[in-house]
Amino acid sequence: MQQSLNPWITSPAADSAAEEVPKTHVPPAAVISAPLRGMVEPDAADRLGRRTVSGSAALWITGAHGGAGESRIAELLDGARIADHCWPVLQDGNKPRVLLVCRADMRGLTAARNALTQWVSGAAPELDLLGLAVLADAPGKTPKALRDFAALVGGGAPRFWTLPWVEAWRHGDSTTPPAREYQRFITDVAALATDTTPSTSN
């Protein structure tokens, strides 16, 4: 029986013995990598605002809602600054690189979905959206319904990371978490934030 290719994979897997291991792991780009014509923008109440920011940053972190964890993520990434809960607009007219952040609860994921709908409809300001990072909202395993919804929401971003709960943060320990998911995330985002390849995003 002939096996069909997975439609989410753009090319068939190569022989692993002959394939070189990349220096950094970057999640594959999703189908949606830039705003799409014909997408309906969300209601005004569901959109993120715009904020003119001063200074520069290698990456701007935008929380989709209050308590999204953007300050914590900005602490982990060199050259990152928070844009609070707004799309950043640079004073010099350049296109900012942005990472959207939310929590893995229903409120957070819904806010991220609205922000991504705003971006993909072209209603957000001109920016280079790197992807969406979803931070666990509680210790333990995320319920399946929320994991499924997170995967659905993440499919609307150019790239998508899910990050586990870090108990040490509750106790004021702000050191970089040793969890493999965070180390990989930091490496991924650092590579994307310093990539000089022209972006196709908005």
10-residue averages of pLDDT along the chain (202 residues): 46 48 50 62 75 90 95 93 93 92 97 94 92 95 94 93 89 72 92 70 48
**Maximum distance among all Cα pairs of the chain, rounded to whole angstroms:** 60
Query: For residue 39, what pLDDT is reported?
Result: 63
Query: For residue 158, what pLDDT is reported?
Result: 94
139 contacts: CB under 8 Å, gap ≥ 6: 165, 167
**How far apart are the C-alpha atoms of 182 and 123, rounded to whole Å?**
31
Length of the chain: 202
CATH of 44-193, picked from 3.40.1000, 1.10.10, 3.20.20, 3.40.50, is 3.40.50
Question: What is the four-CA torsion angle of 61, 62, 65, 69, rounded to 10 degrees?
Answer: 0
CA atoms within 13 A on the CB side of 162: 17
C-beta separation of 80 from 61 below 8 A: yes
Residue with tokens 């792991």: 25
Distances in whole angstroms, Cα of residue 112 to Cα of each of 18, 40, 105, 199: 39, 16, 11, 22
C-beta separation of 103 from 21 below 8 A: no
Residue spans per domain, the chain: 44-193
- The dihedral built from the CA positions of residue 154, 35, 85 and 97, taken in this order, carries a sign that is positive
Q: What is the pTM of this model?
A: 0.77
107 contacts: CB under 8 Å, gap ≥ 6: 65
